[in-house]
Structure 1
């Protein structure tokens, strides 16, 4: 078996992630009661998939509700035992470390799952967290068993605190089973068990076969009578079968043949009528085709005439367009001629154009100026309406735009100007002049601060963006400071207001000059500080509090009145410029018309002659068009007559089609009946074998009605038969006779097999007896040797069972003698608690020495020193070390050096502090050789 080198716990009870060494032969866990020793041992039990934990604890005791994943990882050796390594069955070879891992997953609702892994090496915990598809507990136990961890070892590591003597409390039969499970020859045990099962199975099969043979003998005698009655009943059935399967079907077959001949003659007559009807229908269709061809020729002529008509229409439309153009041009020239007769303008065109440019410039300047005034007036009225409706002053557009963007981003914020109210109107100008750009600072929550600054950068917001502060307003404030003149609506901006307690408001420059260490500002906005004095109230508009609203309303009303005063003067200028422009435009228009007539005078008569020519051509085309329309009407009448004749032929063809369809349906019905009769004939021919059908002539077969009457009589006889009607009894009788012979042969073979199994069992029983005697003899030697090391006498002897009860009744008795007293049974009540512990340890450790020099093993002993004195403790330690096994021992915190001296490695545990959720990491001390 392997040896532990280290153990790592993650999220196991109060251990977050600790790793401790375990590379000693004897490892001693010490600590106060409740310091975690049992918790550590239970981690080992879970890692080895032990059957139970200490004190009936469960995984829920060690896995906290808030923990999703816990881990127990042991690093062990890949020990060479004989000629193979411990984990070679998993493909892990060589002297390398191996990690055995248990990952515990908390699924909630008190559901916890375990998953096991066996991997080469010592992988980091980050890699282990990604492990998937591990082994289930049963599969893992099988792998551990192949690595040398037997089921009995798992039972032994499950010993409770102070129960090291438990093995000594087992009865004689249980002790024997424990020894055989760990050290017995599994092949011999299995062979004996198989032989015993085969013997019992052969014995049972022989008994069952004899019972079955006797049963068949009785059944065969009863079946003989029933088979005779069934033979008589069968004769009626056979006669019925001949009529039912031969004579009656043949009679029906001849009847179907007669009906089939009649229908086939009828079908041939209808087929002749169909040929005549199809010929007539074809003639009507040919007549229709002729009418259709004639109609297509007429329609072709119509299309040609329509093409000519369309051509004339296009020519006529072109002429009408030309006539219209000539008429429009003549009218235009006529108007120019009349207009040129009464024109009288004194100025030259150049003079008029110069005046026109001057007047147009004046007109557009006046119009643009009036538009600007009206636009500004509209904006001021909207601003006034907003101020009158809102309790807050209006701010520059960029403030509103940025606040709207913050609202869309879901960022709650405040504007500095909204959070203060100036108490005295006389200081409104001074305070707002001093605050300046600070009035438009925006304040947001700390968690929105970064996002708000990013939005400010993206939108180029030219004022500060700050987080809400936790500064409190000071209680002692100068009465003449700016802060004293402010009413604060939201104290989250207090951090910006606190410096205002040192800014003083003064009535004059002279008064401010006295406060050289402070910043002062007069009512008119003159600031004084260490650098000197400066006027800061240039073009200041109020934005803070109710006074700002009143001042803004007054400013807007005054601006509206100023703009209204500009409108009448601009309207007069625009009206004069418009009238001058109209008069000049009219004079220029008269001059242009006269010039245009002079240039177009020769064209006046030509346009009139050209129009008359186009009118004559139009009349000629109209005459030809009327003639074509008359020809088209005549062709339409021929088409209508042709179509009427075609429709009449179509009706006649439809009537013929209906008649043909009716005839076709009649033929189809006859055809279906013929098919049905043919199918019935074929089905009957399938039922009637050909040799039987040819063996009966029409005269040999009785009438169908007589055969049906005969069938009724047979039905009555069969129905009222009082004997055995079960025909299978005939075959069953024959079958049972054969089965009786077969069972006789099987019985002989089974008796031979029974004798063979009995001989085989006797041989295996002898092998098992020799093996158990040899094993207990060797175990007795180990026990005696270990007892001598422990300072006592102890022996083991075997009481064998007999024959069938060889295993069940075999017992292993143990006798022990301490302090040169008489020998007693190991379960004798005269033994002290310490003697019980030593005797149990000898039996337990002797199991690991059964492989002589290769002895090994792993044992957990929780408070094994419970009943031992100092001398016994030292002797037990020496005794344990001699076993070559690995032991994990526990003891409460003690000053007994003897209890500590036995260990190679001491792990010291400490109770968890109430101030910490985690237990301290165990400390360790190594023994120096």
Structure 2
């Protein structure tokens, strides 16, 4: 329902003219007795077409102003409700003006009402130049307000006498039920029921007299009726047997043939679809076979490339062999010069040259150690920084180079060591020992990158696994090695199987209790598998998990201190070796052989220095050649796997081709059977009436006889029954039975006429009683629902049971509405049992009053309450105020000036009225106090 936003009065009582804003939820009207609080509420009642309080009416107020006219104008809300409709449609603005114009006419006062769209002032309403405002009478205006939400039920509550609104809890249960009926229901249904019952009693007496005479005539007609029924039963069975043989069985056979044809057609369609799918699958397999053939060709190309790499490795091996041979030749030449030096200058010179060579070699050795120590210190520093920044474990150069290539190609990946965390430090060594061969395994982020990654791996001869197929780790087997490992991402299936397969035992002796085929490992890394048991070696450098990172950081820090100590000890030795080499070089100056040795010392030293590297390159070349041969062997093994895959696909293709052939061969007999069924159907349909083909009627026949087989069985049963029974076959019995039945019908018509009258009386009586009981129950349920909703807002448990409604006039007339309230969980109290305090009495009356105004279809609205805070203490005043704020209605509350200030706490707007001073023509304007929100 709508709420009031503004009120304007002209010449009402002792007020000349004023305009009040009322756009607030709780409005308090305060003033001394006789200052016009009720007068203001009566103005609103007059505007809304309600009775004024007490014995007053609108004429009393307009006569006091001593003017020929008066105006009451209000602006109310016109916002759409929950259904989207506006209360005063077709008014489409959010505000609507309601106006009451009161004028003197012929010695009496008349009032006219108007509803205008928007906020229209009194002057515009009076002028009404464009005839936009239509003035209507009191009845039409009330109907229009009812459409807007001010229904007659709400109007009755708003027109309650002053003082009754806060004394509803003093009503008796019967009086409260009458009030609720007066608002929600219709008490006239009980009067209608009493009149209907009297009419029923009179009709039943007349009906009993006619019934005795009718029973005598029915007994005479019953004998002939039985004979006529026997004839009709024979006729019905005979007709049904004829219909089964001539019509029903052919129709059912035709329907079943049609059904079989449809099923066979669907089966043939499914067979064709399966044949088509099989052919498509066969074509797909053949295309995939071509792809595998292409993969084989690519593998063969890789094999050719591997063979080329093998030839290149052989060339590098020969070149390294020649380099080692040349270096050894130079060293042999130096030995010859030293022998010559011994012959020319004696053994002392040789010893001197040997000492010089030894000092020079020692100097070079110490310089190389210094460079290596510095490089190792820088490398350890970089590794320690990476470990502190939580980077991946250190990998060898080949792995780092290959990962750089993958990153450059945009192939996302991560190392296996980056996603594994060991949860039990005691088993770190065992985990490291098992996973040592897989430290550098690379896991691809996207499976579709596998071919590109494999191509790079082939080009780089990457020796570690590249795994594209990943899945989330399954739950760890109890007691397995996987139980002490946590994975941060998806892993290869084979790794999960490996770790779940290995059981943890404390030592080899503890493994006795395990089954013989169980694979196990000890904390020390002693591992048993299907090939036997061995010690895997407990690694000193950890790669997996946070413990490995901490151990690496600790070891790197120790290595850096060791290298730094070695550098500090090496540098004094380096300086001393340099001084010794310089002194020996000066002593050798001047000897010819020595000069030759000195002149070619760089070549000899270079040969001696490069000989280990050359030998290392020779060893590497030998290893590269072995690796190239291994790569070639792997490619050939892959080719063997491709050949196996080609053979498997060939077998699948041959099997599917046989299935296609089988489907093609099975379809031919089915099509022949279908053709036979179609020919039979055409034969049965030839000459058949069109209505025999009605699918709905044939479906009913199938349900009735359960198909043609059931119809034939029913025909045989009917023939046996006709042949074995004693039947009346003379149709004259129908004439005799008809005459007696006509007599009975005439008498029954008279009886039925009186019975209809009696039934109508009973029905009217029952409907009147049912309407009264239904209306009573619905009214109590709706009112009880409203009471409970308001009780929840007031934190009061309210119980309103439906009264006992027996099918008895006195019980219905004495029914009452028992409402019980439970304040603060102290026990339920009734309406007026003297158990409640004064504040609780007011709260009960407010709940009973507001429940009368609640309407789920039109929430909101406004309520007039006279002095609800009388005789209340501060706590109860606050409680009543809190309850009012919790509801959604608009309240206009009067209160005298003697009340506690807490009565103004819930109000957003307070109106202050004052008495008219003696000698003044008009009362002072109403004061306005608005709370700042």
TM range (shorter): 0.3 to 0.5
- TM (norm. structure 2) is 0.38
- TM (norm. structure 1) is 0.38
Pair member with larger Rg:
1
